Amino acid sequence: MLVYHRTTAAAAQAIQAHGFLDGASGYGTPRAKAGVLFADVPLDIRAGAHGEALITVDLVGEARHSLEAYAWVDPDRRAAYVEWLIPAEFANRRAVILSVDVREPAAW
């Protein structure tokens, strides 16, 4: 299953070298959550995703069937895409990085 993760160029290099790390953010809620945010489409600044690097990932194995537990539901249910907040440990065991595309934000 192909998923996408938006980040900075420096973070993309670190991910390629060492794997994903849990981030902590409210992700639009009042409570901090930990994990790595993936989406079923490439997100950009209009969706609140920041960074000039887009990582395309194939989640293999049982990950396809396990993602439901990590679904990140838009509280307003307005999003036309699906997001998952996945623990880094889970992603690192199942993620195969297919590509890292780095562009200036104006190029999206």
Read off the pLDDT of residues 18-67 as tens digits, 9 standing for 90 and up.
999 998 765 555 566 789 999 999 998 888 888 999 999 998 876 666 78
Question: What domain count does the chain have?
Answer: 1
Sign, CA dihedral 57-61-63-64, equals positive
Higher pLDDT, 74 or 2: 2
The model carries a pTM of: 0.83
pLDDT at 108 over 60: no
Which structural domain, as residue segments, surrounds residue 75? 2-24+32-107
Please report the pLDDT score of residue 57 as a whole number: 94
> How confident is the model over 67-89, as pLDDT tens digits?
888 887 666 667 788 889 999 99
